[in-house]
Structure 1
Amino acid sequence: MIRTLNSLRFILILMIVISHSTLPISQDLINYLGEFPVAIFFVISGFVLSLSKGEKLQKEVLGNRNFFLSRIIKLYPLHILILAILILLDWRLGRILPWYQILSHSLLIQTWYPAHDFMAHLNAATWFISDLIFFYLIFKYLYAWIMRHSWLYLLVTISIYMAVYISISLCAQADYSAGYIYAHPLFRMIDFMIGILLYKVCRSE
């Protein structure tokens, strides 16, 4: 099952890449090949991690530090390489960003800064990885919280969460912060949580 879901994640990433290409057709399909696959990717990630690592982390068969570092090692070296190339290209074009912006992108914490333009420079697509890093960091605790509580409690809590998210999103649609809210880890976390909830459904009797 995990191999099949990972193959699906690859297809979703490919759809996202196409949506960000310069092909004329990509502009017409961006809502379908961009935003939808992002949400599904986070859902699948929550489910796959719950299936493969959830119980191991909860029973401390796998240490949270080792789990987190293993995820970082898969993502970080390539991220730094691409970032260095982009910084060099920007320098050649005479565009030099502030050091703190470069540092935040290097550490993959740019989505926590409350401005879309701050997040969208350099390798803008890494907002996605920035969110994933946060999800990996809190996965053990989020998984334990969802598994521990009743469905009624989870339904009420998530309904309140969604109401807040929708309200803020609607208020931000006409504002420059809409893109930032779309990418913020605390708002995208609902997709990841849905994946863990689906795993709980599969586990339940």
Structure 2
Amino acid sequence: MGSVQRFTTLDSFRGVFALLVVFYHLHVVGAFIELPFFRRAEILLNFFFVLSGFVLAHSYGMKAGFGFKRFIVSRVFRLYPLHVVMLLVFILFELVRWAAYKKGFSLNNVPFTGLFDPSEILPNLLLVQAWTTLTETMSFNYPSWSISIEFYIYMLFGALCLLSLRNRFLMFACVAVVAFTMIFTENEPLVWRAMLGLSCFFAGNITYLAYLLVRDRFVPVRWLMTVFEVALTYATYWMVMNDFSDRSPIASLTFCVLVLVFAFEAGLVSTFLKTAVFRLLGKLSYSIYMTHAALLFCLSTVFIVAQKLTGRDLSPMINGQRFMDTGSELGNNALVVAVTLVAIGLAALAHKYIELKGVELGKWVTGASNGKAPVNQTISSGLKPQIDRAA
């Protein structure tokens, strides 16, 4: 097999899982997203870390002349623009809530307290909110906690890539093995989200090495790869639906196998995931992930205000969780579909006007620092795989 520069199927997986994260955070009475699978989908976040490790190993791990500065600049401009914009959006939300609060109109808690305390702004800006017990991991734009973990793992990855090819992959393996061992033995020296990210990301690096070792020695048979793909898809479903000892690390290792198999894009499931709608979700995955919390916040606020104005129970609290309710099962399911479409549309705008602009600016900065003319191209062009986006 020739060298693969795009992993379209894996990109589609990231998009589907990003949409499942939206469903996980959206609560609508009696809608299909309240089925057990969608309520337990938090385990799928492990997949994002594994896939990021796989992709960065593909993009940078095999480079003999690795440029640390160029790598870090590209990562900063890849992640930060949309992260900062969404942080500002949530600060604006709190300012609006504060103005309403001063007018005697209360929406849930007091503005700028708890998860939205001003002391959490700097940790979020520095992307350290998920690394310590002294900060609120889920503060402001709560999905950004995983970006917080990934950002500093990227730093470690970049530093290790300064070693020789052999030694860097040896260190990748060491970090993964040590992290998984500490998780299985419950001796984690860091917060669990950091241990999760370290174990999954560097296991993804090693998964890419396994892919390289297998790729040129294995001719995929379509029916056999279809069996593998279906089996791993079912295994993912089973792990979401069931509780068992060491569920999270076992799921992480299973995702390594899933990424390895689907990287070959040789089965019928892969063919299905390469259709246009899934490719679109893959392209927009980072923006879907980073913008959906703001959308849900606005929608929930609308339902709370409507409840106060009409006296109808449109925004009930159920088991400590704020839900939305249009008053009918059909209306609630239609609401979920509408939210999904709006989330995708909002992500498309963020992708075009923020995400890609940041990528282009990063290319200009790295090009200017190297004395080269700016290169005007999208993230999916050239030798970088389309899937090279954070999650």
Q: Taking structure 1 as the reference length, what is the TM-score of the superposition?
A: 0.76
Q: Deviations over 1:53-104 (max 9, x none)?
A: 1122xx22x4111112112212211111111111121232231244431111
The corresponding residue for 1:177 is none
The match for 2:270 is: none
Q: How far is the alpha carbon of 1:48 from its aligned partner?
A: 1.2
Answering whether residue 70 of structure 2 is matched by residue 93 of structure 1, we say no
Q: Distance in 1 between matches of 2:153 and 2:176?
A: 17
Contact 1:146 1:197 in 2 (8 A): no
Residue aligning to 1:102: 121
Correspondent of 2:179 among 158, 161, 173 = 161
Q: How does 1:1-205 map to 2 (within 5 A)?
A: 1=4, 2-4=6-8, 5-24=10-29, 25-26=33-34, 28-30=36-38, 32-36=40-44, 38-56=45-63, 59-60=64-65, 62-94=66-98, 95-96=111-112, 97-115=116-134, 118-142=136-160, 147-148=166-167, 154=173, 158-168=176-186, 181-183=191-193, 185-204=194-213
Residues 31, 168 of structure 1: CA spacing in aligned structure 2 closer, same or farther, 3 A cutoff?
Answer: farther
Whether contact under 8 Å (1:19, 1:27) holds in the other structure is no
Write the distance in 2 (CA, Å) between the matches of 1:14 and 1:187: 21
Q: Is the 8 A contact 1:146 1:196 kept in 2?
A: no
Query: CA 1:145–1:15 in 2, change beyond 3 Å: closer, same or farther?
Result: farther
Contact 2:84 2:125 (8 Å CA) reproduced: yes
Instruction: Name the SS for the 1:168 alignment partner.
Output: coil
In structure 1, C-alpha distance between the alignment counterparts of 2:61 and 2:34, rounded to whole Å: 37
Structure 1: gaps spanning 5 or more residues: 172-179
Amino acid at match of 1:29: F
Q: How many residues align?
A: 188
The AA in structure 1 aligned to 2:198 is M
Contact residue 169 and residue 206 of structure 2 kept, 8 A: no
SS at match of 2:196: helix
TM-fit CA distance, 1:27: 7.0
Instruction: Confirm or deny: 8 A CA contact 1:19 1:29 kept in the other structure.
Output: no
SS at match of 2:143: helix
Q: 1:181 offset after TM fit, Å?
A: 3.6
Q: Is the 8 A contact 2:53 2:204 kept in 1?
A: yes
Distance 1:131 1:66 in 2: 20
Gaps of at least 5 residues in structure 2 are 99-110, 215-391
Residues 30, 141 of structure 1: alpha-carbon distance in 2 compared, 3 angstrom cutoff: farther
Identical positions, percent: 25
Amino acid at match of 1:100: S
Instruction: Tell me, in whole angstroms, the C-alpha distance in 2 between the residues paired with 1:79 and 1:190.
Output: 24
Contact 2:127–2:148 (Cα < 8 Å) also in 1: yes
- Contact 2:130–2:149 (CA under 8 A) maintained in structure 1: yes
**Whole-Å Cα distance in 2 between the matches of residues 159 and 52 of structure 1?**
22
Judged with a 3 Å threshold, the aligned counterparts in structure 2 of structure 1 residues 149 and 48 are, in CA distance, closer, same or farther, namely closer
**1:33 Cα deviation from its structure 2 partner:** 2.6
Distance (whole Å) between structure 2 residues aligned to residue 64 and residue 196 of structure 1: 17
**How big is the alpha-carbon RMSD for the aligned residues of Structure 1 and Structure 2?**
3.1
Is the contact made by 1:45 and 1:192 (CA closer than 8 Å) also made in structure 2? yes
Which of 1 and 2 has greater Rg?
A: 2
Q: From the two aligned structures, give the one with the greater helix fraction.
A: 1
